[in-house]
Structure 1
Amino acid sequence: MMLERLRLVSKFRQAYGIWRPRNGGLQKCCHGSERRDKQDTMTLALGQVVWIAVKPVIRIYFIVGTGFVLARFNILSVEATRAVSDIVITALMPMLAFSKIVQNIGISDIKNVGIICLTSFLLFGAGLAAAMGVRRVLPVPRKWQGGILAGGLFPNINDLPIVYLQSMDQGLVFTPEEVSKGVANVIIFVAMFLVCLFNLGGFRLIEGDFTYEDEESESGREEKSELAEAAARPASADELESIPTRDSANTLPTGGERSEGGVRPLVPVQLAGPPLSMWNTRLSSVSSFRRRDSITSTMRSIDLRSMPPQGIADLIREYSNVDQFGKRLSMQEAAHGAAPYGEVGSHMTPAATQRSLTRIITSEAAVHKEDIEASGSTLPPWLRRFPLTKHVVFFLKNCLRPCSISVMLALVIAFIPWVKALFVKVPDGPHIPDAPDKLPPLSFLLEFTSYIGAASVPFGLMLLGATLGRLRFGNLPPGFWKAALVLVLIRLIILPIIGILWSEALVRFKWVNWGDDKMLLFVIVLSWSLPTMTSIIYFTATYTPINALDTTQMDCASFFLMLQYPVLTVSLPFVVTYFLKVKLDV
């Protein structure tokens, strides 16, 4: 009787597709409805999530440590560091940006691009507000008032988030396709970072901290010193007659009326320009720089490795772009007595304009306030009268940076389906005849850019390690450590909380959802959890004179940056673990 009842129950379940399998899970029913097995819906253990969050940090610090060791052995010298940095920003990073955006961004992602741009301004604004609050409440040296604002405003939103994402493509949380799209989203963040730092003049926050010597007061001090020295010793009548006056120092003899013997007497003619004492000061600074630079440049790189590790003074020597008066000097022109860069009047020759543009778009930290003033100097006078003309021209000049051009070009290609189909296969897109290898006709360009661009991230992290290995700081201003520590805690603990709240707000606004846009939301939270940009060191070195005795700006920037990376080892994994486990429910 019991057997017959079980047989009937079994037939009933088979008829309606609701039988219970042996493992206790739910299987596919005879009606074709697919249900997930209990094992498939099981979330990851907390220990697994913690390891997923910590493993990328270990990878990052191993690469950073490699750069640190190479710098300590002078293999990655300051000259090599700058050369590799210029290669990254002019070639490697633009190629990585082009390949990732074209492959992973489409017409349906326009909304996400807009969300990234909005998030970028909120992120930069929040960091700036935090730095302003710290500067107002806690002791910050007068010479680093703008530097602390830049430290709060600009995160290191380049190599760190990319390598972190690429370490999570094992499929436990994100698929390789989702990670590639996340890298493309990070690159759009990078483009917004470049716009704020260069196009909108964010670098002026750092440059504004530097006050340079006054040229007239310097020349006056030299003349007083010479007069005092002359007064301290007795002089003969002949010597007194031969001493030139200040006015005659800037004159040249020329012919006047003929004397009785038929010889023209020499009449002094005033020369336009600064006094010779000012030129002597500048040329002595230039010659000092050239002597120091020639010693290093004539030494073979293999011999450099037997010397003590290069330090912050060598970094300043390589990057410094100004003299003690804050003027950028062209070494070759100054050596021949030509006018220094930036003092050729309101007009620049086409050759000088071309050199300035090349320097701006191929260097990371070689931009100066004089570049803003010189922008638009070749335009007609009536157009230069408008106050915003030079700023608009400077903005457009910075759009010619290789990374900016690459991002704009890639987005145009990605948003036009039939153009994108020339590079990658577009599902439900226009049909483009394949090349003989059954791939899109221009796929070889993506293969080229992907192959070259892959070197961008490891090189960038090694440069970070090399820079950190050279940082030193002297006597910090009293109480500054409090301001630096508080801003670091805000940067790495408070801002990530705001980032998580912002991601929840985006979901509540129904702009995104946790299922389809989880990678975008993760990238947003990751971007709020990053330390200050490494470029703050390069910019500070650029505006520091080579022979500067007071290096308060560099000391503060070094201490502030070095303080963040130990905290990052704890803060970043904690934020990622919380977001994955609580918000994404992995």
Structure 2
Amino acid sequence: MTKDISTLVVNALLPCLAFNKIVNYISYKDLKMIGIIVLTSLFIYTLGILGGVLVYFGFKTEPKFFYGLLFCSSCTNISDLTISIMQSEGLQAIFTTEQLGKGVSYAVIFMSVQNFLLMNLGLMTIPYYDVKNDIEKEEKHNETDANSSTSDDQHLTKDITDKNSKADSTFNNDVYDQQTSLSDATIESIDSISTADSDVVDSEEVEAEEIAEHEETFHQRRKRKSSISSVLTRPFTNSGTSHRVDRTTELVKEYSIISKVKSGQFDIKKPLDLYAEHPTENINNNHDENDKESIPEMEEKKNTLSDWCYSHRLGWLYYILINFERPCSIATVLGLLCALVPWLRILFVKQNGYHIHQGPDNAPVLSVFMDFTLYVSQASVPIALLLLGGSIAKIDLDKLDYKFVKAAIVLNLYRLCVMPIIGIAFVNRLVTIGWLDKGDSIGRMSLVMTFAVPSATACLYFTAMFTPVTGPQIQMACLGSVYVVAYLMFFVTFAVVLTYTIKHDLGY
């Protein structure tokens, strides 16, 4: 259910939120702020990677979690937390609705930059390189075993064939001698007995199959009934403690694609499924080669484009372009296009200095789209927070790597304490040099807030995608330690950073 709801959020709720907030609160006057957000995002990712490298070499942590450490230290939770905090009731007592809406639009642009890096540039595959060497070694080992077994099977098959030919000739001679000695009456009696026995056996087999089906149905109903009752009574009783489910392993089983990578069904270098937050299929796996007649003309053109790009060594360009078809990417691009072009923006919202004929209700002609996206987007924040809690709940404390806890504490001290200090100094420097207006309080707070959030929740799913189902699952154990420490510290560190920014820097 978590996987389905997250897909709903990515394909419907977040695109509506992105389009509505960008068109409502962004205009061509904010081009400088968009550039500052892109620059700040790259600076945050650089600081995060630097912290991951220092922790790795300073503590000599698990070598199979090097790329995963860089991944979780660079990606920040700029969609769930920052947007929900911007829409919280506490900030509504300080900032106006216009300011908070603009802050949400800034958070959406931050999210778009991160999605471009992860999806369009393929940085989401970084955790794969922690297990790449093991997969290659296993493939080479399987190839050598297959070659040796093939040669052994050839020799064994030859020996068995020789023995079987000798045995068959001897057996056929004996059978022929015995058959010639039997009388016709004996043969008829044997045939009648065998026919009766076969009828009895057939009836017994049918009855056994019917009994097995009834028993299977009964056990399924009983199992379903017990599972439902256990779910209903687990919060009130201790009956679920004796049969505890390994949540981290279940997460890996659900999202892991390593088996598909080994079998060749999944290609890391090709675009992934466009309609899932945590894609586990390539984009072209939805259509079979023998089903070309059912593919629409646009799909055929797309396949022709992909073939042309890969044949001319431009697969990287196709990878970047095709990811713009993701719902969030389309909504962001269309939102920026409509927001930055005044004669398009006035079709959706009222804009000072420009005039166009209004609709019968004295509203912009296409304001119905703004009403629709606003209505749908209001569900994105509470559902996103529920998914955040559900994702953290999937971390199994018994599976944590406690040797990595010290490194996790240092990494989160750097991310949640040191990086916000750097962020405050960075934002104040932007104000000093005139890049950022001193009166743009919501813009300053949005930038500082992005420095002070923990790792992105999506890192859990992307790491689970590239974690083998069998084995110690070192990557998930280390990442779980990072998240547990991060959210124990986050409530304190973020409150201090937010209070200092509002009281000291903004002067409220």
With the length of structure 2 as denominator, give the TM-score of the two structures: 0.75
Identity %: 31
Distance in 1 of aligned mates of 2:390 and 2:231: 14
Q: Output one character per residue of 1:262-306: Cα deviation in whole Å (capped at 9) or x when no partner.
A: xxxxxxxxxxxxxxxxxxxxxxxxxxxxxxxxx9xx969957836
1:286 counterpart residue number:
none
Which residue of structure 1 lines up, in the alignment, with residue 416 of structure 2? Answer: 492
- The structure whose RCO (Cα within 8 Å, separation 6+) is larger is 2
Partner of 2:429 in structure 1? 505
Q: Does structure 1 residue 200 correspond to structure 2 residue 121?
A: yes
For these two proteins, the number of residue pairs brought into alignment is 422
2:107 is paired with a residue whose SS is: helix
Aligned amino acid, residue 494 of structure 2: L
1:467 shift after superposition: 1.3
User: Residue 541 of structure 1: CA displacement?
Assistant: 1.4
* Structure 1 counterpart SS, 2:396: coil
1:305 counterpart = 2:231:
yes
Q: Is the CA contact (8 Å cut-off) linking 2:139 and 2:262 kept in structure 1?
A: no
Distance 1:341 1:130, change over 3 A: closer
CA contact (8 A) 2:40 2:447 kept: yes
- Residue 565, structure 1, aligned to residue 500, structure 2: no
C-alpha displacement at 1:217, in angstroms? 2.0
What amino acid is aligned across from residue 85 of structure 2 in structure 1? Answer: Y
Asked whether the 8 Å contact 1:328–1:342 carries over to 2, the reply is no
Equivalent-residue separation in structure 1 for 2:458 and 2:95 (angstroms)? 31
CA distance in 2: counterparts of 1:228 and 1:477, whole angstroms: 43
Deviation, 1:206, is: 0.9
Name the CA distance, whole Å, in 2 between partners of 1:556 and 1:89: 27
The aligned residue for residue 262 of structure 2 is 327
Cα distance in 2 for partners of 1:128, 1:197 equals 14
Aligned-partner residue type, residue 326 of structure 1: V
SS at match of 1:396: helix
Distance in 1 (CA, whole Å) between partners of 2:421 and 2:162 is 76
Query: Is 2:491 the partner of 1:556?
Result: no
Which runs of structure 2 are paired with 1:31-110 in the superposition (5 Å)?
A: 80-110=1-31
One-letter identity of the residue aligned with 1:440: P
The separation in 1 between residues aligned to 2:280 and 2:266, in whole angstroms, is 13
Residues 1:390 and 2:303 are matched in the alignment: no
* SS of residue paired to 2:261: coil
How far off is 1:239 after superposition?
6.3
1:581 aligned onto 2:500: no
Q: Are 2:76 and 2:454, in contact at CA under 8 Å, matched by a contact in 1?
A: yes
Give the C-alpha shift of residue 367 in structure 1.
Answer: 5.8
Instruction: Compute the displacement of 1:577 (Å).
Output: 0.7
Q: Is the 8 A contact 2:419 2:451 kept in 1?
A: yes
d(CA) in 1 for partners of 2:384, 2:19: 17
Q: Which amino acid aligns with 2:44?
A: L
- Aligned match of 1:189: 110
Q: Does 1:362 align with 2:275?
A: yes
Q: Is the 8 A contact 1:473 1:554 kept in 2?
A: no
Match of 2:100 among 161, 179, 195: 179
Per-residue deviation at 1:218? 2.5
1:435-458: CA deviation from partner (whole Å, max 9, x where unpaired): 222211111101100111111111
Kindly state the Cα deviation for residue 322 of structure 1 after the two structures are TM-superposed.
2.6
Q: Can you list the C-alpha shifts for 1:331-366, whole angstroms capped at 9, x where unaligned?
A: xxxxxxxxx4559xx9xxxxxxxxx86x52111222
Establish whether residue 537 from structure 1 lines up as the match of residue 450 from structure 2. Answer: no
CA contact (8 A) 1:96 1:453 kept: yes
Match of 2:325 among 400, 423, 434: 400
Structure 1: distance between partners of 2:276 and 2:54:
32
Provide structure 1 residue ranges, at least 5 long, that are not aligned to the other structure. Answer: 1-79, 244-294, 330-339, 347-355
Q: Give distance in 1, aligned partners of 2:70 and 2:159.
A: 61
Choose which of 354, 358, 363 in structure 2 pairs with 1:439: 363
Deviations 1:512-533 (A, max 9, x none): 2222x11000000000000001
In structure 2, the partner of 1:415 is 340
Q: Counterparts of 2:305 and 2:24 in 1: how far apart (Å)?
A: 40
Structure 2 distance, partners of 1:443, 1:457, is: 23
Compute the displacement of 1:501 (Å): 0.5
1:159 Cα deviation after fit: 1.1
Q: Look up the equivalent residue of 1:319 and give its one-letter code.
A: Y
C-alpha displacement of 1:545 = 3.1
Quick check: 1:472 aligned with 2:396?
Answer: yes
Cα displacement (A) at 1:157? 0.6
Tell me which of 108, 124, 130 is aligned to 2:45.
124
On the 8 A contact 2:18/2:332 being kept in 1, the answer is: yes
Structure 1 residues 439 and 299 mapped into 2: Cα distance closer, same or farther (>3 Å)? farther
SS in 2 for 1:436: coil
Residue deviations 1:136-192, cap 9 Å, x none?
211221110100001111001101011111115665321111001100010000000
Q: Per-residue deviation at 1:368?
A: 7.7
- Tell me the secondary structure at the aligned position of residue 60 of structure 2: coil
More helix by share: 2
Letter in 1 for 2:478: C
- 1:518 counterpart residue number: 441
Given the superposition, is the C-alpha separation of residues 381 and 102 from structure 1 closer, same or farther in structure 2, using an over 3 Å criterion?
closer
Give the TM-score normalised by the residue count of structure 1.
0.66
Distance 1:562 1:326, change over 3 A: same
Taking the aligned partners of 1:567 and 1:380, their CA distance within structure 2 comes to: 46
In 2, are the aligned partners of 1:377 and 1:384 still within 8 Å (CA)? no
Pick one of 104, 112, 131 that aligns with 2:33: 112
- Which amino acid in the other structure matches residue 189 of structure 1? F
| In structure 1, C-alpha distance between the alignment counterparts of 2:322 and 2:458, rounded to whole Å | 20
How many angstroms apart in 2 are the aligned matches of 1:370 and 1:138? 40
Q: Distance in 1 between matches of 2:253 and 2:457?
A: 18
Q: Give structure 2 stretches of 5+ with no counterpart.
A: 166-219, 233-239, 285-301
Correspondence for 1:427: 352
Structure 1 residue 474 displacement after superposition: 5.1
Partners of 2:358 and 2:90 in 1: how far apart? 29
CA deviation after TM superposition for structure 1 residue 326, in Å: 3.2
Q: CA RMSD in A?
A: 3.4
